[in-house]
Amino acid sequence: MRTHKLPLIFLFPVLLTGIHLPVSAQTPKGWKSVSPGFSAEVLLSRGNAMWVAGSGETIAVSTDGGQHWQKKHEDPNGGLLLTFAFVNEKFGYAAGTGPRLLMTEDGGETWSARMPVPETIFQAAFGDPQHGVVRARSSLLATTDGGKSWKLVIPANDPDWSKKLPETVALTAMDSMHLLVRVAGDGGEYLWTTDGGATWRATALPSGAGSNGAFVFQEKYWSVGSEVVGKDKPGGGYSTPMAVRSSDGDQWEHLLVYHDVCHWTGCGGCTPQGCFAGRSSFVPFSRILEGAPGNGAASGSGQPTIQPESLARFPAHLLSEQWARSGNTLCLLTNGVIDCTTLSPVAMLDTRDDQAEWENRSYPPLHVIKANLGNGSIEPALQAGLHCIRCDLDRMYISKEASSGPVTFEISFAIEKDGRVGKVGLSGNVPGDVADRLRHRAASWLFEPYQVNGVPAATTVGLRGSVFILNPDKPPTGAPGRRAPS
């Protein structure tokens, strides 16, 4: 095992919007933790089954709401699967930090390595075994021949898209010819193809397009979010939920969402199965448009026909877009832990003051910022052959145990063979409530496996850094009542 000692320095000023209040890691009443027997990274539904993929190139299925899992594929020497999906009842694919992309054509019963990949794949979308698009570490690539060759995705009408929009938010495929990539940065675009990836074009995001990615439902692309209306009226505007859909990625239709379901917070974690409304309700996707004015509600008068379904309170840790439903059981995958609960019908939803905080599953931008060490990521500090997949860190913490001001710490952690973080150690004059949050965040980091002579190997990393402590009752010395740097 090798040890790396690297500096980690955070610069100021920082924004107060980066503050996170402490959360409990306890599973609340009504929820039960389940384990598939390996470290899970992707959780999804198909039919009445739940599927999960993760470490050891493992794929497993459960047909009883997550209580028991049957492994369909694993390779102890394989990588960590980061992307996994089914296109139809027979065809599916999976990829990640390993050197190959897996495919199935028998509904997941057997998996085979169909094509080599150029580097770690964070996201992928395939319409069939021949046509697909993948987000690799440093590029967005498409294939039209089953991976025999790969071409950079370059939209004809926006060839320099990646310079201004380096983040890939979502990849999805409607069929073998229609694929879509949502990219973001300062604004956003949809990159789309209607010829299986041979050529691409770009369309700017419609106003208010969803912030939680894109997916396919009823042979159309969908994105769900919220928009601000009435901005020019006295007193300013207000936020209201909305959705957009398209049959090709070019022309988008604007649709209203039933307000009492998604409220001003919008709906999060949407898939063809449904959306989360705030922190305490799940609504089948086919119903979130019912009752919205102008959408042809079944009642004919704009009144809701929704039969909403409520959940026990969500786990106190962050929510995730990785979830699955089987019958009346719904499971969430958050920070590598799968928690499940039972859905029960309610007469109405109440999402007021119930906005959810979602787990950050973003991946590094296509062009890593090299100079700014104060951007909330430790990636610039890792220069010894280690590549971060998720390694963000808050730069400001609220504490009731210490005076406001910068605090220096040293943090050490093991990186396992699959890239996950093992034991975390922390030293320095860090208040206890902040130390717990630093260790919890570090434990959720993920790296590309460290390799020695081409073979994944465990390693240990030591980092030195500084965060700012903000105690509202104890402002910085010599500056009573002064705000923290902003």
State the DSSP string of 290-337. Answer: TT-TTS--TTSSS------EE-SPPPSSPB-S-EEEETTEEEEEETTE
Q: What is the dihedral of CA 375, 434, 445, 185, to 10 degrees?
A: -30
Length of the chain in residues, anyone? 486
| Residue 452 pLDDT class (50, 70, 90 cuts) | confident
- End-to-end CA, the chain: 41
Residue 195 has pLDDT above 90, yes or no: yes
Give the separation between CA 173 and CA 182, rounded to whole angstroms: 12
For β-strands 187-193 and 201-204, DSSP reports them as antiparallel
Higher pLDDT, 306 or 149: 149
Residue 388 has pLDDT above 80, yes or no: yes
Higher pLDDT, 91 or 311: 91
Q: Give the residue-averaged pLDDT of 122-133.
A: 96
Residue 279 has pLDDT above 80, yes or no: no
Q: Give the residue-averaged pLDDT of 453-479.
A: 79
What pLDDT is attached to residue 12?
Answer: 31
CA distances 134 to 29, 124, 338, Å, are 40, 4, 26
Provide the percentage of residues in the chain whose pLDDT is more than 90: 37
Of 165, 98, 84, 21, residue with least CA distance to 419: 98
Give the separation between CA 334 and CA 122, rounded to whole angstroms: 17
Of 123-137, 260-274, 372-386, the least confident = 372-386
Q: Give the residue-averaged pLDDT of 148-156.
A: 94
CB atoms within 10 A of CB 237: 12
| Residue 206 pLDDT class (50, 70, 90 cuts) | confident
Burial (CB count within 10 angstroms: exposed 0-12, middle 13-18, buried 19+), residue 383: exposed
| Residue 138 pLDDT class (50, 70, 90 cuts) | confident
What pLDDT is attached to residue 371?
Answer: 38
Residue 304 has pLDDT above 80, yes or no: no
| Residue 291 pLDDT class (50, 70, 90 cuts) | low
Q: Give the residue-averaged pLDDT of 416-428.
A: 90
222 Cβ contact list (under 8 Å, min separation 6): 210, 214, 215, 216, 243, 244, 245, 270
What pLDDT is attached to residue 27?
Answer: 63
Of 205, 208, 124, residue with least CA distance to 165: 205
Check whether the bond before 13 is cis (ω within 30° of 0): yes
Q: What is the mean pLDDT of the chain?
A: 81
Q: What are phi and psi of 462, to 5 degrees?
A: -120, 130
Q: Give the residue-averaged pLDDT of 279-297.
A: 69
What pLDDT is attached to residue 10?
Answer: 40
Give the separation between CA 210 and CA 269, rounded to whole angstroms: 10
CB 134 within 8 A of CB 124: yes
| Residue 308 pLDDT class (50, 70, 90 cuts) | low
Identify which of 20-24, 170-174, 240-244 has the greatest average pLDDT.
170-174
| Residue 161 pLDDT class (50, 70, 90 cuts) | very high
| Distance of alpha carbon 322 from the chain centroid | 7
Of 164, 126, 154, residue with least CA distance to 365: 164
Single-letter residue type at 449? P
| Residue 109 pLDDT class (50, 70, 90 cuts) | very high
CB 50 within 8 A of CB 326: yes
Q: Pull the structure tokens for residue 86.
A: 């089914």
Residue 29 has pLDDT above 90, yes or no: no
What's the Rg (C-alpha) of the chain? 23
What pLDDT is attached to residue 127?
Answer: 96
Reported pTM: 0.84
CB 27 within 8 A of CB 483: no
What digits encode the pLDDT tens for the residues 35-76?
999 989 999 999 899 999 999 999 999 999 999 999 999 998
Residue 13 has pLDDT above 70, yes or no: no
| Residue 168 pLDDT class (50, 70, 90 cuts) | very high
What pLDDT is attached to residue 307?
Answer: 57
| Residue 298 pLDDT class (50, 70, 90 cuts) | very low
Residue 370 has pLDDT above 60, yes or no: no
Identify which of 12-26, 130-144, 212-226 has the greatest average pLDDT.
130-144
Give the separation between CA 486 and CA 470, rounded to whole angstroms: 12
CB 30 within 8 A of CB 333: no
